[in-house]
Amino acid sequence: ENIGTVVYENSTVASRAIAREIADLINVKQAQKQPCILGLATGSSPKSLYAELVRLHTEEGLSFKNVVAFNLDEYYPMEPDSVNSYVRFMKEQLFNHVDILPENYHVPDGQLSKENISNYCDAYEAKIEAVGGIDLQILGIGGNGHIGFNESGSLQNSKTRLIALDHITRVAASGDFGGLDNTPRTAITLGVKKIMEAKRVILMAWGEGKSNIIKASAEGEVTSRIPASYLQEHNNATFILDVAAASKL
């Protein structure tokens, strides 16, 4: 089973196309007087997408007033104003530059006490369900095939939860944290189940470094070793790639 893949010359052009799809969805929902529920991702890959959405807001008047956003994940523990916080990332890349209402965006809380995490995660999913589920989920992909922080071994029906980060994921993040010793060992991630329930999923990947995991995810066996491979079983998921990330397909 092969997943839908769309290849663009470079990440800038690809990000423009994704931003256009998101803008169209926001506008359709606006016309229907309905909220537009977006699942959002962090990492370097979506930065160009958020820059383009900010441009559509400032230059073309795209409004985010009807957008309700749920981010995939956050390190644990993490303070929201810390440099590596995904709350801070989202504010800097998108939320501070558009007219989304503060009560309408959600990023998992990295400051909970351990015993409250499980209830918090259930409530996070309940909030998504209360607004009718995610209309469009944006994803990056980790070098090991993780989506959000659903690491290898995450089940297709996994719930939102605290997860131990893979060594390889921590190594990849260690530059941001000034070394492995300072890199968090855990994170809170939206589970695979809620990602798979999204009505539309777009996974973006740029560069040669992602080409092997993109091939394995799109064309290899569907396996818990590579959570992104579950998307082969989604009826409306597309991998949007630049030429380099698509080079092994």
Report the catalytic residues: 151
- Per CB under 6 A, the list member of 8, 64, 149, 239 interacting with ligand GLP is 149
- Per CB under 6 A, the list member of 11, 42, 66, 71 interacting with ligand GLP is 42
Contacts to ligand GLP from residues 49-108, by CB under 6 A: 72-73
Which tokens sit at 63?
Answer: 């409004």
DSSP string, the chain: -PPEEEEESSHHHHHHHHHHHHHHHHHHHHHTT--EEEEE--SSTTHHHHHHHHHHHHHH----TTEEEEESEEEES--TTSTT-HHHHHHHHTGGGS---GGGEE---TT--GGGHHHHHHHHHHHHHHTTS-SEEEE---TTS-BTTB-TT--TTPPSEEEEPPHHHHHHHHHHHTSGGGS-SEEEE--HHHHHHSSEEEEEE-SGGGHHHHHHHHHS--BTTBGGGGGGG-TTEEEEEETTTTTT-
Is residue 169 close enough to count as binding ligand GLP by CB under 6 A?
yes
Is residue 140 close enough to count as binding ligand GLP by CB under 6 A?
yes
- Per CB under 6 A, the list member of 25, 36, 37, 41 interacting with ligand GLP is 41
Among the listed ranges 91-99, 142-150, 214-222, 227-235, the one in contact with ligand GLP (CB under 6 A) is: 142-150
- Least distance in angstroms from the C-beta of 141 to ligand GLP: 5
Among the listed ranges 28-36, 37-45, 59-67, 239-247, the one in contact with ligand GLP (CB under 6 A) is: 37-45
Is residue 141 close enough to count as binding ligand GLP by CB under 6 A?
yes
**46 versus 66: smaller Cβ distance to ligand GLP:** 46
- Least distance in angstroms from the C-beta of 41 to ligand GLP: 5
Chain residues that interact with ligand GLP, rule: CB under 6 A: 41-45, 72-73, 140-142, 148-149, 169
